[in-house]
């Protein structure tokens, strides 16, 4: 099996465990597995969280003007998250800057300044809406770290 499949599987188990233990969802069942694979690229994780927060505020603002609830709200969160992610990738301020002109080590280490996945920001935004920003992002980072540690323990961390 490839690392992504194992990571998602472990993420499902960790999400279920955290949901039952703490009563908090880790941003969707598959999200911790994807985030765990990107923990070595903090700019990518931050960009994904930023896209999720922007998505939440856009849908929240729209819901003050029009009635959005249930399935419509869920689909709108995923759709807006997709659009925000695409927009952020195309407008990344440092994507056109040559690598040798960057002084910050975090940015110079990676060429990937993108949002993780296409629906991940929307899934995170759904749970920010349901249980709060700090709760969602906190439990998500914790779950992703646990997934990453399990990947290290079973020897798949170096395959990434």
Q: Which two tokens stand for residue 81?
A: 């998250």
3-state secondary structure 56-119: HHHHHHHHHHCCCCHHHHHHHHHHHHHHHHHHHHHCCCCCCCCHHHCCCHHHHHCCCCCCCCCC
pLDDT digits (tens, 9 = 90+) for 91-110: 876 554 445 544 555 444 44
Average pLDDT score, the chain: 87
Looking at residue 95, what is its pLDDT? 53
pLDDT digits (tens, 9 = 90+) for 20-51: 999 999 988 899 999 999 999 999 999 999 99
Region 13-25 average pLDDT = 94
Looking at residue 149, what is its pLDDT? 96
Cα(13)–Cα(19) distance, integer angstroms: 10
Q: Which of 24-28, 52-56, 95-99, 117-121 has the lowest mean pLDDT?
A: 95-99
Residue 80 near residue 59, CB atoms below 8 Å: yes
Looking at residue 139, what is its pLDDT? 97
More reliable by pLDDT, 47 or 156: 47
Q: DSSP label at 1?
A: -
Cα(137)–Cα(127) distance, integer angstroms: 9
Looking at residue 89, what is its pLDDT? 86
Residue 68 near residue 131, CB atoms below 8 Å: no
Looking at residue 114, what is its pLDDT? 86
Cα(131)–Cα(1) distance, integer angstroms: 34
pLDDT digits (tens, 9 = 90+) for 141-153: 999 999 999 999 9
Name the pLDDT band for 56 (thresholds 50, 70, 90): very high
Looking at residue 156, what is its pLDDT? 78
């Amino acid at each position: 099996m490839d690392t992504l499949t194992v990571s998602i599987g472990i993420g499902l188990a960790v999400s279920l465990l955290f949901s039952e233990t703490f009563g908090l969802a880790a941003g969707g069942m598959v999200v911790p597995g994807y985030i765990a694979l990107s923990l070595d690229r903090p700019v990518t994780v931050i960009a994904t969280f930023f896209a999720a927060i922007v998505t939440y505020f856009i849908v929240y603002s729209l819901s003050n003007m029009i009635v959005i609830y249930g399935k419509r709200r869920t689909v709108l969160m995923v759709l807006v998250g997709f659009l925000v992610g695409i927009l952020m990738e195309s407008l990344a301020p440092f994507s056109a800057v040559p690598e040798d002109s960057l002084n910050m080590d975090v940015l110079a280490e990676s060429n990937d300044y993108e949002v993780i996945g296409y629906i991940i920001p929307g899934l995170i935004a759904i749970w920010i809406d349901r249980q709060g920003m700090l709760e969602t992002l906190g439990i998500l980072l914790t779950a992703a770290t646990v997934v990453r540690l399990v990947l290290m323990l079973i020897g798949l961390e170096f395959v990434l």
